[in-house]
Structure formats: C-alpha cells, structure tokens
C-alpha cells in the first residue's frame, strides 16, 4: 500500500504481473468466488481504481481462455478510475488500440469515452468511486488492488 509523499496523492502504484497472477489464482479458492465464476458467461467483475487496466486485462485474457467471446468478456468487466489519463490507458489496454472520443454528458460527474472500433465504452468510467452509482449485475465479483493511503 502506498505511503504518503512517496507516490501521487491518488496512490497510483500499479500491481506487478506476478502478483496479479497469484491474486487471480487465489480468487479461484475463495468462498465467494470459484472456478464456476470463470466458466460463467454472465457473472460480472468489478475493479474499483483500475489504474492502467493491467489487472482487468489479465482477467480478460483468463476469461477468453475459458472460451468466452471477446465481446462477452468486455461486456462483463467493469472498472472505475478517478484519473482520466489512467482511465483512457485502461480502455485502450482492454479494447485495443484505437481513437478515443470523450462522450461525457455535460451534467455528469462521470467521464466516458467512445472507442473507434467498439463504440461507447460504458463499463470503464472515470469517476470518484464514492460518487458512482451503477447496477453491476446480480453476480458481481469485486476484486483488485487497494486504493487508500496510510497516514504516517
């Protein structure tokens, strides 16, 4: 977990690939998440504070390896990230290279983008997660790395 002064105020420290893999391996043994969640074509996954999207990207690769289509997987991966630049990086990582056009509603606190290949990206949004209200589906697996700074 980031300490004050060493990293940005938002605690932007990204998780190394080896740790991402062990996190996902451990998920399969959790009481609230198991192999069936990976096999399911309908369960959704949510990462608050997804940074540059590296954990969601690895999860996407794993779900694809279960035979789900790319469209199916992208529709079920959700993320909220407060930093717009990180959010855009995450969208490009998950949806692939392309042009991003901002489509934020004038009165909304939530920023969104359209991807030139995939269209409007509704699942990966830029917002303070504490302000974001959304229905992520009945069977959502919440996972990711921590967000908060330790006060020294």
Ligand X SMILES: C[S@@+](CC[C@H](N)C(=O)[O-])C[C@H]1O[C@@H](n2cnc3c(N)ncnc32)[C@H](O)[C@@H]1O
- 43 vs 97: CA distance, rounded Å: 26
Instruction: Specify burial of residue 55 (Cβ count, 10 A radius: 0-12, 13-18, 19+).
Output: buried
Q: Residue 26 or 36: which CB sits closer to ligand X?
A: 26
82 binds ligand X (CB under 6 A): yes
- How many residues sit in the footprint of ligand X (CB under 6 A)? 22
Which has the closest alpha carbon to 58: 121, 16, 117? 16
**Could you say whether residue 124 binds ligand X (CB under 6 A)?**
no
For position 80 contacting ligand X by CB under 6 A, the verdict is: yes
Q: What is the DSSP string of 37-63?
A: HHH-SS-EEEEES-TTSHHHHHHHHHH
Largest CA distance in the chain: 46
- HSE, CB side, 13 Å, CA atoms: give it for residue 5: 2
Strands 77-81 and 119-126: parallel
Tell me which residue has its CB nearest to ligand X. 49
Indicate whether 86 belongs to the interface with ligand X (CB under 6 A): yes
Nearer to ligand X, 67 or 130 (CB): 130
* Residue closer to ligand X, measured from CB, 16 or 67: 16
Site for ligand X in 11-40 (CB under 6 A): 11-15
Name the segment binding ligand X (CB under 6 A); options: 5-13, 34-42, 57-65, 112-120.
Answer: 5-13
Residues that bind ligand X (CB under 6 A): 10-15, 49-51, 54-55, 80-83, 86, 128-130, 144-145, 147
């Amino acid at each position: 977990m980031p300490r004050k002064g060493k990293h940005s105020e938002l605690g932007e420290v990204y998780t190394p690939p080896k740790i991402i893999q062990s996190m996902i391996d451990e998920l399969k043994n959790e009481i609230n998440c198991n192999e069936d969640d990976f096999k399911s074509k309908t369960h959704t996954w949510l990462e608050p504070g997804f940074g540059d999207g590296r954990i969601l990207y690895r999860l996407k690769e794993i779900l694809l390896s279960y035979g789900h289509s790319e469209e199916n997987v992208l529709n079920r991966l959700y993320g909220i990230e407060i930093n717009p630049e990180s959010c855009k990086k995450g969208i490009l990582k998950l949806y692939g290279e392309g042009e991003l056009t901002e489509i934020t509603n004038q009165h909304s606190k939530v920023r969104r983008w359209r991807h030139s290949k995939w269209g409007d990206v509704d699942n990966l949004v830029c917002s303070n997660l504490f302000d974001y209200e959304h229905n992520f589906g009945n069977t959502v697996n919440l996972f990711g790395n921590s967000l908060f700074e330790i006060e020294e």
